[in-house]
Chain A
């Protein structure tokens, strides 16, 4: 992945997408192979060093800290990285883009609706000013309208200069926002190419029912 790209990683459940992300984040140790990030080899790093090196994550299922307030969740997004004053400024900045963050600052994150949680999770990943944003199934469990909203947001983040790795089952929409894509099946990359190529690939079309859309 190059800087400033949007790459999407497609595949059905169990294809190995989330495993790959876990390896990248250092939560699983690879049995073989290497992971490179920003010009450094990072496999074998302790998990906390990866986010601190400039990676923001929106985990699958969003995984906000349910009993912490929205504000505290945002603070967690820059944990161990920045001075408190700087973090506060950044949160302030994000609150202009997401008015929700200010309105609900004190509310426990677990009580938000799915769409609101998605916004908070994305904002949380951005607090640390990441150079790379990883989104794992951001559309899961959202209504199509909210999905579109999320994808619009992804494009906006990308326009601001952050590289994005989008892990999705929802092939159609991810291929529309992405530059390039990889298709995983049973733990292997079976297809790789530009988004336009993948959109046209018959296998992808069949597997993801793009034809009907």
Chain B
């Protein structure tokens, strides 16, 4: 097992080199001169040249590439063209926000998705099944943008239950510790007995997590349903039933555990997608995360930021895949990792 994990981690190196190379050339060969985009209407030729030289854009592409790879290996992606700050520092500040949001969204999506999926499989072709599957279809098709605004209108402006956006009430002047605000809030609560920060952090994450989790809920529910339906038809389930084992136990202990394999794959993929795909949710709910940051970096042709952002997200994506593979063997000991 440990050897397997090590080997997978080693495989990460060529994968990432590939990703870095693709990102470099995609960025370098796309139209639009970053110096020009930076300076806009007010560029003078001298200024353009200074900035191109500063960014190394006046050197041959091959040299730029080697330079970039050598520095990337040392996790040095340089400074952002736009802000002049080290890009890794900006990522350290923003990535936790996205991770926290994606985790909460996935917890909601996984628990609700599996629950709905199991229920509609067990009650196949009843009104409950139809309702859930129509609901799932709606969930997949609903634009996050629209859903987000509707959630804000009902639950923030209308009911006043949740704030319209942000990670924590700005008037609390919170100083982050780990930058995962739920954890930070918990730390402050335990340390100082003040639960205001934790409460605010929870209130802020509810709506964006629901908005972000809606599509995964639907996908997980549909996968669980079809996988469960297949498993329920297996001989061993019939045997278990005929042996007089209570139905609940048959479903959750015998059938679900086996039906979960494809569901875990889907959860892994969805989680990876959420990490970079949260742009819309982050925009609507003013959530200062990495998705929006990468998006802005692309529009500003901020090469170092795009490169570092994509590299970090890809690494996490690959790591999640690894964890999914390991989970396989935990759920089904028949699968041996080699």
Co-complex (A, B): no
